[in-house]
Structure 1
């Protein structure tokens, strides 16, 4: 579905991003992973046969992002898609308990990084009539207690996705977001450990989705492949829930 596409993927080193990296290569794409940490040996081996470029980059540093995009263009000459997946979820706090530094870091990683990837990628997407995909979260639509700034960033991503879709539609660039609920990733595991009742969190998360227990990131990756493919060629501005129905309404959970 993604044969010969050049896809820039931020935060591709673990969690949903890693599952997307594998799914994109399986679908025929060349992946350019931009992550704050280098991939470990096991992951490099898993991608051994894939056409890839791995770049270590601080996505909150505009100079580093610009350099990463220059490297991609020098090697491949074009970009067909940008998947803005990189994010952090720490800290798990109410707004009044959040420090200025914590606010700034969440906003910079989760939102400002999208500004930078768009700033340095949009000219290339205009040439390829490519697409942008943002990783959001169900909490950006319905909220979550004790996670105020993270929720704010995901709500902003939803609104930003719609604004970008309108701005770039004249250039035939599609912009969508994928919106997971609970997904078993290192980020969610870290969040769980911050909770006062962490012993009960896994049970809660496994009952959150009507379709079944908390999934791995591959279910999100499959939806991302679709949204970046030609099969989704007339879809833009969509915040696609891949949530097992978690947002559908009140349920009796025993």
Structure 2
């Protein structure tokens, strides 16, 4: 059994309690799409986790394992990390839906060569996907969903205090269901634009058959891009409603993850 003591009494006990509470919050911030991106300084995440941990310590009676550096204590820390990662991963699934939809739309438009650096992963992704991600981020912040997510993190200490069993097959099935929901939402976002692009491709195909002298590549690519942009412009209100619903569903899914 390993236990570190520095002789500061109650102050030292509160310090270890604060660090223990910060474990779940810090893991959630690292896994979340908005706060875990490489452009956010780690110091800012530590400050945010510390501020929320102070609130949790004042609001709940979270108890630190008797020997934090023993095997039971390390398992308790690991359990806190898993809960935090799950809360952040649910948001990642929600933010992945418009990016997946943009991949499909961009491929149909022939715009997959237009790429930009994804701030979430640091890799290249279609520029159209970055546009959808920015729209989702603005709506997510505008609705105050990030504040609701912070409230869910704090609430998780009441529904699942440290040391209680949280992980199970039911939780895995629930998160997997959120993944299926993400693909369904991505298909809903991409379907209207893809139907317009399919119509454009059918028209260009008929024209190329009726007038073989026309160059299919010089006609089809501009027509596909113009048709896709026009479809995105016309369907912008519908896409906004879908993204707004997606932001609300992300918070609902996160609340279901920590439901007792």
> TM-score by structure 2 length?
0.28
Higher relative contact order (CA 8 A, sep 6+): 2
More strand by share: 1
Q: Highest Rg: 1 or 2?
A: 2
> TM-score by structure 1 length?
0.28
More helix by share: 2
